[in-house]
Structure 1
Amino acid sequence: MTALVLDQVSRWFGNVVAVNDVTMRIGPGVTGLLGPNGAGKSTLIHMMGGFLAPSSGSVTLGDVPVWRNEQIYRDLGLVPEREDMYDVLTGWEFVLANAQLHKLPDPDGAARRALETVEMTPAQDREMRTYSKGMKQRVKMATAMVHDPAVLLLDEPFNGMDPRQRLQLMELLDRLGDEGRTVLFSSHILEEVEQIAGRIEVMVSGRHAASGDFREIRRLMTQRPHQYTIRSDSDRVLASALMTQPSVSGVELSRDGAAAGGTGQGGAQLAVQVTDHAAFVHALPELAAAQGVRLLEVRPSDESLESVFSYLVER
C-alpha cells in the first residue's frame, strides 16, 4: 500500500469550492505539493489522510478507500500543519503514546528510534510547551514515523525550522524516498520543493494546475517564453544571427567593462527570449557554426521553480 490515488476529487464548504476535480497519483519517492496559501493543499492532504470526506470523487491507498478506514493508519503517517499539541507532555511521552496507540510490539524502542531519527533525543525529556516551533515540527515528524509507515503526508513540515533543521529534514526526506516510501509534502516555499522533490504536483485556486518535475512542467507550457543566457566569442555576430530566427523573440547584449566590444570577454553575455524551445535548441549549434562563432556557455536563465510557479498563478 504505497500509492495514493485521487480520482476526480472535489471538496466544497457551503458555496466555497476548496478543491475542484483533482485527479493525481502519488507513488514511491518524494513528491512536492506546491501552491500558494489558500490553493487547497491542506484540504487535499486532509482527504488523503482520511480526516475529511471528499464531496465527490474518491481517494484510495493501495486500491483501498481512505475515508472511514482506520486500518490505513498502519501504513500512513501524517504531520499536520496545525501546531496544537499536548504541551504538558514531554517529547518522549508524546511519541511513546503514539507508539502505544499503534500497539507496536516494542513501543519504547520505536519511540527511541523515531526521536533519534529527527535528532530530538537531547530534548526528549522537556515538556513540549518549552519547544520552539521547529522542535515541535520535528516531534510531530517523529510521531508520524514511529510505526514505520510506507506513506508519509507532511503539511508544511519546514515551518518554523532554522536553516540547520531544514537541511536535516531535507536529508531525511531524501533518504525516505530512496528507501521506496511514498512521501508527499506541501509547501509554498519554492526552493524547498525544487531541492528535494523528485516530482511536483501544483495546486492553484483549488485546481490541479500541473504535474511532473519543474522542467517537465515548464516544457509543457509552449505558450510561455523561455529565457536563455548565452556566452560566445563573438556576441554581436551571434546576436544579429539570432534575430533572424523565427523561434527567437528578443535578444539583449550586455555591455560591461571589457565586454563593451561584444567579443564575449570579461563577462559579456546575451539574454535571449525564445518562443519555440525545441526549434531554438536544434537551430542554435548550426547557426553558431555557420557564423563561425564559438559557443562558450548556453544555459536556461529562468529554470527555477519560481518562474514556473509564477506563470501558473498568472494563468
Structure 2
Amino acid sequence: MTTIHIDHTSRWFGNVVAVNDISMEIGPGVTGLLGPNGAGKSTLINMMGGFLAPSTGSVTLDGTVIWRNEQVYRHIGLVPERESMYDFLTGWEFVQANARLHQLPDPDAAAREALATVEMEQAQDRKVSTYSKGMRQRVKMASALVHQPSVLLLDEPFNGMDPRQRMHLMDLLRRMGDEGRTVLFSSHILEEVEQLASHIEVVVAGRHAASGDFRKIRRLMTDRPHRYLVRSSDDRLLASALIADGSTAGIELDWNERALRIQAIDFARFTELLPRVARENNIRLFTVSPSDESLESVFSYLVAA
C-alpha cells in the first residue's frame, strides 16, 4: 500500500500562510480534497508532488521524504491545474517525451497506452496549441499515467471537460482506486466529489477542517442544528409533542412531502426523544431521514465555521 503522510506541515510565502500546521494521511482509494478558492489545496498538492518544499513539517511517501527526492517520481503522477504546456509539441510528442524522461523500456508503447486510456488517440498528432481546455486536461492526464504510477495527484482535473469526458474520467479514477492505487483530486464541483470520493479531506483558510466520509463528519458536528424529514401516522400530534421540548428549534409541516421537517439543536437528546414520544403517543414512524447530510450541506457548515 502506498501512503502519503503530511505531518504538521506549514507553507508560507512571505507573510502569507498558505498551509497552516496540517496533518493528514492519504492512502489507497479515491480521496477528494475540498476547500474554497485560496484554501491551500494547490499548495498541498504541490508539496505532495515534490514541487514545493514545506516551510515546516514533513511530507513523505511510505516514510520517504518527497522533497528533492527524484526517486519518488517513479511512483507519483501529477496533473496540475495550470495550463502551462509545450504548445509546439503534438499530443503524442508531449506524452512520449514524459515516457522517455522516465526511461521506460518501450516509451512508444507506454505513450500509446496512456493516450488510449484517456481517449486521445484521434487527436494525438495535433499540436497541443490547437487543443480545447478539456483536451489539454486529458493529455496532461495521459502524461501523468504514462509510467503507471501508484499515486496520482490531480488539481481540479474536471475543469473544461464536457459531461461525457467527466464521466469517463470519473470511471477511470474509480477503477484506479479499486485497483489499490492512491488517488487524490481537488475539486469545487461537490456533486462529482460526492459520486466519486470514498474519503474527503477538507481544508479551509489553510487549516485542516475535517477528514473522513462526509456523512460521518456531519454526524460528528453535534454543535450544528441537524435537519430531519419525518413521516408518521399522525404528523400533527407528533409535532405538538416534540415542539414543547428544548431539543428542537423548529418544526414545519411539508404538505408536498406529507412529512415534518424538524430542526434539532440537541442531536443526542432528539435521537432519544423521537422514538420515546412516538411510543408514548402510539404514533408509528414511517420515515426518519437526515435531510442535511449531502456533501454540499457538510461543506457549507465547515466553510461557515
TM-score bin, normalised by smaller chain: over 0.9
- What's the counterpart of residue 131 of structure 2? 131
- 1:183 Cα deviation from its structure 2 partner: 0.5
SS at match of 2:261: strand
Q: Are positions 1:98 and 2:88 aligned together?
A: no
Aligned to 1:272: 262
Aligned to 1:293: 283
Paired position in structure 2 for 1:223 = 223
Alignment-derived partner of residue 17 in structure 2 = 17
Matches within 5 A, 1:200-219: 200-219=200-219
- Cα root mean square deviation, aligned: 1.4
**What CA deviation, in whole Å up to 9, does each residue of 1:101-124 have, x standing for no partner?**
111111111111111111111211
Higher mean alpha-carbon deviation, 287-296 vs 149-158, is at: 287-296
Residue 302 (structure 2) aligns with: 312
- Establish whether residue 3 from structure 1 lines up as the match of residue 3 from structure 2: yes
SS at match of 2:111: helix
Match of 1:119 in 2: 119
Instruction: Find the aligned partners of 1:282 and 1:200 in 2 and give their Cα distance.
Output: 30
Counterpart residue number, 1:281? 271
Equivalent position amino acid for 2:18 in 1? A
Q: Which amino acid aligns with 2:282?
A: G
Partner of 1:28: 28
- In 1, the alpha carbon distance for the partners of 2:126 and 2:278 equals 65
Q: More deviation in 270-279 or 165-174?
A: 270-279
* Structure 1: tracts of 5 or more residues without a match: 257-266
Specify the alignment match of 1:107 in structure 2: 107
Q: Could you tell me which amino acid in structure 2 is paired with residue 156 of structure 1? A: E
Confirm or deny that 1:140 pairs with 2:149: no
Moved over 6 A (4+): none
Percent identity between matched residues is 71
**Correspondences of 1:147-166 after superposition (within 5 Å):** 147-166=147-166
SS at match of 2:143: helix
1:119 aligned partner, one-letter code: E
Following the alignment from structure 2 to structure 1, what is the Cα–Cα distance between the partners of residues 177 and 273?
39
Output one character per residue of 1:106-156: Cα deviation in whole Å (capped at 9) or x when no partner.
111111111111111121121111111011101111111110000011001
Unmatched tracts of structure 2, length 5 or more: none
Task: Kindly provide the amino acid, as one letter, of the partner of residue 148 in structure 2.
Answer: D
Q: TM-score, normalised by structure 1?
A: 0.93
Mapped partners of 1:278, 1:120: distance in 2? 53
Post-superposition Cα deviations, 1:253-283, rounded to whole Å, max 9, x if no partner, equal: 1245xxxxxxxxxx31111001233443344
Deviation at 1:79, TM superposition (A): 0.3
> 1:56 is aligned with what amino acid?
T
Pairwise CA distance, 1:97: 1.0
